[in-house]
Amino acid sequence: MTDTFNKELQQIAARVRAIFADDALRPDFAPETLLEAALAYPSAGGKALRPALLAWCCRMLDGPEDAAVRAGAAVELYHTYTLVHDDVIDRDPLRRGQPSVHARMAKIGRAQFQLDNEETAHYGLSMAILAGDCLHCWAVKLLATLPALGADPAVALRLVERLQGVVGPAIVEGEARDIELPFTPVAEVTEAEMLQVIRTKTAALFAYCGWAGGLLARGVEDDAVRALAAFAEHAGIAFQLQDDVLGLIADEATLGKPVGNDLREGKRTLIIALGWARASAAQRAELAAVLGNQQAGLAEIAAATGLLRQSGAIADVQALASRYLDQALGHLAALPASPALALLRELAARMVIREK
């Protein structure tokens, strides 16, 4: 199945790249520097997990695959817009091993306009925010073209309405909670609060992929569509839990971004909360010295990660990710066996069993 999966995923990724390269499907973004900023992440390619998820959910129910792939491309753009803004919020200098959009644009601003350090940083952040807005506009434009590929216009409208009226606000809620939680003492943050961040900031868009793929096929929100949405949501939670693990223990070159940033940013992840609850007073002092410390060095990050590993927090979160994966797969049980179902099962597994 692995060879088939890889081939199918590569085909989806190639079709998404072709959509991104089609000038007729892209709004006119100007000036040229803004266009460059907007294209930075889409042109770099990605794992195409969300487009594949949406397309295979649609295929599972015998829906229009061309429309599903274009809808998947729209979701990828929407996701990418959130990444651009998230990198600004988290002050991440890297994304997928390359300079993040705000870092890239800061360099361009310095070279093109001879800006000083403060204005260079401000230019980079400003252009990144606008680039994210461009990607948001582009995503909605793609969804509006789905009727040309055989999608019911009423269904296309529902896809736009849900993305803009439900999923978008959920993602923003999750981001806002993620910003605020570091100001709450670690001991006071509950597991429910942290899982709510994951459900909104990450899993909501995965759930949308399952729902949208199913709705494109069925036209109505029946049990099969709801099952695909629930499958995708639980897989998305598992994905983010594994992401939190990788953010601490992955190889930085493989991950494509700095390891330990959750610690430096003072993020309240489940791993950190569990580790804190199990730590001695001396160990808490060591963790506290790193949490929210942008200047924390590699040795300090490694020591804090070691404490979290020794406490069993990392292993417990990995186990929780596996349980959410099992729940996700359980939602597929009532659906008929098919090649698309097999692809969905492997996709969910790969969202947890991965190194980046």
pLDDT score at 210: 99
Sign of CA dihedral 312, 318, 324, 325: negative
pLDDT score at 326: 98
Q: Which residues of the chain have pLDDT under 50?
A: none
Amino acid letter for position 323: R
Report the run of H or E that residue 194 belongs to, with start and end.
Answer: helix 191-198
Among the residues of 199-338, which ranges form H helices? 204-218, 223-249, 252-255, 261-264, 270-278, 281-288, 298-310, 313-330
| CATH number for the domain harbouring residue 124 | 1.10.600.10
Residues 6+ apart with CB under 8 A from 193: 177, 181, 268
pLDDT score at 1: 60
pLDDT score at 252: 74
pLDDT score at 245: 96
3-state DSSP percent of the chain in helix, strand and coil, to 5: 80, 0, 20
pLDDT score at 356: 77
The predicted model scores a pTM of 0.95
Q: How many domains does the structure of the chain reveal?
A: 1
Label the pairing between strands 98-99 and 94-95.
Answer: antiparallel
The boundaries of the domain holding residue 224 are 2-352
